[in-house]
Structures are given as C-alpha cells and as structure tokens.
Amino acid sequence: MQITVNGETRSFEAPIRLRDLLEDLQLGQRRVAVELNGDIVPRSRHDQTDLHDGDDLLIVHAIGGG
C-alpha cells in the first residue's frame, strides 16, 4: 500500500491505522496535527482512522521552545 507522508511516498502493509503509522514514524508520543486528504483528523480519532492506498497525509509536530 502506498501512502504519501509530507510529500514522500512510502510503502506500508495494509491495513494500517493512523495511530500505528504515527508509532512507526516515532511520532506516537508527540503532539502532532494530522491532515488526511485535506481534512484535519482530531487526535481523538487517530485510533479509529484507517488509512488506504493513495492517501495523502500531512503531519506537523510541535517543537517546544521559549
């Protein structure tokens, strides 16, 4: 299955949930904003959001600072 993540095409085993993909990318514990095919996915829906071949993700994570 091919998914575009931040402009880079990546291959994953199907099926995969958004939460699992974030874990694979070592972003599971970070505060992230996720856009899936142009729509924001609330953090509360990461566990329930299935990803499909051809999906386009934009993932942004917050960096602390002062």
Retrieve residue 60's tokens.
């942004």
Retrieve residue 24's tokens.
């694979």
Retrieve residue 26's tokens.
């070592």
Please state the pTM of the whole predicted model.
Answer: 0.86
Counting Cα atoms < 13 Å in the Cβ hemisphere of 59 gives: 21
In a domain, 19, yes or no: yes
State pLDDT tens for residues 10-56: 998 888 999 999 999 998 778 899 999 999 999 999 999 999 999 99
| pLDDT value, residue 51 | 97
| pLDDT value, residue 9 | 97
In a domain, 14, yes or no: yes
In a domain, 66, yes or no: no
CATH of the domain at 16: 3.10.20.30
Determine the structural domain holding residue 7 and report its residue range: 2-61
Tally the domains of the chain.
1
Residue (of 4, 2, 1) closest to 37 by Cα position: 4
